[in-house]
Structure 1
Amino acid sequence: MIPGIGTVVNVATVLLGSTLGVLLGNRLPVRTRDVVTDGLGLVTLLIAGTSAMAVLDDTLADDVGSDAPMLIVLGSLLIGGIVGSLLRLESRVESLGGWLQTRLAGSSDSADRHRFIEGFVVSSLVFCTGPLTILGSLNDGLGNGADQLYLKAALDGFAAIAFAASFGWGVAASAVTVVVVQGSLTLVGLGLGDVLPDAHLAAITATGGLLLVGVALRLLRVREIPVADLLPALLVAPLLVQLAAALH
C-alpha cells in the first residue's frame, strides 16, 4: 500500500461532495440552507459529545490517575488557546480562506467572501480535528493500511455535500487543509516505529471533541468561538499525558 493514498481518496471525496453540494445548494432557498446548517450543527454536537467522552477512557485513567484526565483536557485547552491566540491562528486561517476565495472564486462581494471563508474554516476544522484524522494518517504512514482514512473519506464526502449546500465552494477549498494536515501526519507516521499509545490518543480525542463543540456553536450561530486558536491543544494533550504519567 502506497503511503498517502488514503489522503488522496479523502481529498477526492471532499471535492466530489462539495461539487454535488454546490449544485444542490443553488436550487435551495436560503431558509432551507439555514435549516441544513442547523442540522449539521446538531450532528457535529453529537459527534463532539461522543469524542469528548474519551476523557473517561480506562486506559487514560490507569496511566495518569482517575482525577487527572479532566485536568489534562483543561490544561490542553488553556495552554493551546494561549499559544494559538499569540500565533493568531484563527486570523491566519481566515486570511488563507480569503486568499483562496480570491484565487478560486474571484468574487469581491463581501457576503460571498464571508460565506466562502466561513465554509472553508468550518469544513477544515470538522475534517481535520477528529480521531480518525490523526490515527488514520499515522497508520497510513506506518504502512498499516488506510482503512480508517477510507472510512473518514466516506464520512467527509457526505458532510461536504451538506456543508457545500449551505456555504458553497469554500468547502471544496478545505481540501487544501486536508492535504496539509493529513499529509504531515502521514509523514510523521513514516518516521515512527509505533502508533500513539491509547492513553495519548484518548486525550487527543477528548480535546478534539471539545473543539468540535466550538465548531457546532458556530454552525448553530450561538457564538463565534475562535476554534483555530485552540488547535495547539491537540499537540499539548499528549505532552501533558506523558508528564502526568511520569508523575503518577
Structure 2
Amino acid sequence: MLGTIINTAAVVAGSIAGLIIRSRLPKRITDRVFQAIGLFTLFLGIHMASKTDNFLILVFSMVTGTILGEWMDIDKAFLKFSNWLKGKLKSHGTSTFSEGFVTSFLLFCMGSMTILGAFEEGLGDEPNLLMAKSVLDGFSSIALAASLGIGVLFSAIPLLIYQGGLTLFAASLADYLTDPIINELTAVGGLLLLGLGLNILNITKLKIMNMIPALVIAVKLALIFT
C-alpha cells in the first residue's frame, strides 16, 4: 500500500498548493488549464480503450454495468456524500465542491496507471507505476484545485479507498489476473475517462459514476471468456 499512500499524499499536497494560488491566477488561465486537462483525459481514454482484445466484453460490460449503476444510482449517493462533506466544511457558497470532488476522483482513479500500478504493487513488485502516477496526480491536483476548489482535496479520501482496495484485490487474486483480464479492465476504464473528458470540456454531462460497475463486470467476463 506504500504506492497508494504516497499517491494520496501527492494529491493532498498538490490540492493545497492549488488552493493557495487559486486567488492569484486569472480565471482565463485556470479555464485554459482545465481545457488542457480535458483534452488530455480524452487522449488517455482513447489510448486505454484501444487495449481491448474483445469488443463484445467491452460493450457488454459498459451496458450491463451502466444498468446496474443506474439502478443503484451511485452518482446520487456520491453527490450526497460530497454535499455532506461540503456542509461539514461550511462551504455552502462553493458551488464547485461536488464537481471538483467527483471530477478529481474519476481522473485520479480511472487511468491505466491506477489499475496497472495497483496490480503491480498487489502482486508483490515495487510500486514504480504508482510513484510515477503520484507525480502526475500531484501536478494535476494543483490545476484542478485552482479551478474547482477544495473538493479536489477531499477526493484524496475515495482515492485512498479505491486504489488501496484494488491493490488488496490484486493481492488476493494474484493467481487469476492475466494480461487479457487487465487489458479488458483498462479498456473499460478508458471509456469512462472518455466520458469524463467530455464532461470536463462541457460538451455533455454524463453520469460516469453510474457506469463504474462496468469495471467489475469486465473482470468477471474476462475471467470467463479469456
Number of residues of Structure 1 aligned to a counterpart in Structure 2:
226
Distance (Å, rounded) in 1 between the aligned partners of 2:190 and 2:172: 27
Q: 2:15 corresponds to which residue?
A: 18
By how many angstroms is 1:219 displaced?
0.6
Of residues 53, 78, 81, the one that matches 1:93 is: 78
Q: Are the structure 2 counterparts of residues 195 and 132 from structure 1 closer, same or farther at C-alpha, using a change threshold of 3 Å?
A: farther
Aligned to 1:49: 46
Counterpart residue number, 1:74? 59
Deviation of residue 151 (structure 1)? 1.1
1:84-136 per-residue CA deviation (whole Å, 9 max, x = no partner) reads 01111011111111112222x31222xx1x30110000000011112222222
SS at match of 2:24: coil
Tell me the SS of whatever aligns to 1:176.
helix
Match of 2:173 in 1: 192
Is 1:30 aligned to residue 27 of structure 2? yes
Q: Which residue of 2 aligns with 1:40?
A: 37
* Displacement of 1:26: 1.5
Deviations 1:139-185 (A, max 9, x none): 32332121111111111111111111100111110100111101212
Change (3 A) 1:236 1:132: same
- Separation in structure 2 between the aligned mates of residue 195 and residue 139 of structure 1, nearest angstrom: 14
Larger radius of gyration: 1
Aligned to 1:108: 92
Shift of 1:195: 6.6
Distance in 1 between residues matched to 2:9 and 2:209, nearest whole Å: 24
Partners of 1:118 and 1:195 in 2: how far apart? 36
Q: Which structure 1 segments of 5+ residues have no match?
A: 61-68
Q: For 1:1-248, list aligned pairs within 5 A.
A: 4-55=1-52, 60=53, 69-103=54-88, 105-109=89-93, 112=94, 114-194=95-175, 196-245=177-226
Root-mean-square deviation over aligned CA pairs:
1.5
Counterpart-to-counterpart distance in 2, 1:201 and 1:158: 27
Secondary structure in 2 aligned to 1:26?
helix
| Mapped contact 1:139–1:195 kept (Cα < 8 A) | no
Q: Does the Cα contact within 8 Å between 2:100 and 2:149 map onto a contact in 1? A: yes
Structure 1 contact 141–188 (Cα < 8 Å) conserved: yes
Change (3 A) 1:156 1:194: farther
* C-alpha contact 1:135 1:195 (8 A) present in aligned 2: no
The answer on whether the counterparts of 2:44 and 2:111 sit within 8 Å (CA) in structure 1 is no
Q: Any conservation in 2 of the 1:51–1:205 contact (CA below 8 Å)?
A: yes
